[in-house]
Amino acid sequence: MQIVSPKLAPILLLLGSNVFMTFAWYGHLKFKDRALWIVILLSWGIAFFEYCLAVPANRIGSAAYSAAQLKAVQEVVTLSVFALFSVLYLGQRITVNHVIGFALIAAGAFFVFRSPVQIEDGARSYRSQKVTMQPPTTISAPPASTGGPGTWRKKA
């Protein structure tokens, strides 16, 4: 019995992982008086828990989403968590420019989840097609040199 749907589980795991990641990357900004090496070690320790959630999120999510879709979800979740963290923990305000920038990234995620664009151009049609590579059935030798310009000839 599934507790959470395969489409929702990776998003929830990414939310949790991003809380850890944001604290690992930016939490030390409140403690600028601490030695950098201590902050790095603490950040690594916090990042371990981020990886414990992010790796399963991507593994589970790959059953429902493409890698590009998982990355798009990751970016939107990261920005959402960061915006809250920035206001609630660091006490910084979000400006209109921040909102516009975040919205543009979210718009990019929207397009990642859309079906491929189909463009009709006269006789040409650009459509999403699965391309498979197959080895050639026959191999032919290149044409023999005619001795024209740019070719090497043995002197007699």
Residue 15: per-residue pLDDT? 96
Q: Does the residue 89 lie in any domain?
A: yes
Separation between Cα atoms, residue 146 and residue 108, nearest integer Å: 55
Residue 112: per-residue pLDDT? 86
* Confidence at 24, pLDDT banded by 50, 70, 90: very high
Average pLDDT rounded to a whole number, residues 102-115: 87
Q: Name the least confident of 51-60, 64-73, 100-109, 131-140.
A: 131-140
Residue 137 to residues 134, 140, 141: CA-CA distances in angstroms?
9, 10, 14
Q: Does the residue 151 lie in any domain?
A: no
Q: Does the residue 99 lie in any domain?
A: yes
Question: What is the tally of structural domains in the chain?
Answer: 1
Residue 113: per-residue pLDDT? 85
Residue 25 to residues 30, 40, 78, 111, 133: CA-CA distances in angstroms?
12, 9, 12, 28, 43
Q: Does the residue 144 lie in any domain?
A: no
The sign one gets for the Cα dihedral 75, 81, 87, 90 is: negative
Mean of per-residue pLDDT scores for the chain: 82
Element (H, E) at 40: helix 36-61
* Confidence at 144, pLDDT banded by 50, 70, 90: low
Q: Does the residue 51 lie in any domain?
A: yes
Residue 21: per-residue pLDDT? 95
Question: Do residues 76 and 105 touch, judged by C-beta distance below 8 A?
Answer: yes
> Higher confidence at residue 36 or residue 122?
36
Residue 63: per-residue pLDDT? 92
Query: Which residue range forms the structural domain that includes residue 49?
Result: 9-115
Separation between Cα atoms, residue 111 and residue 152, nearest integer Å: 54
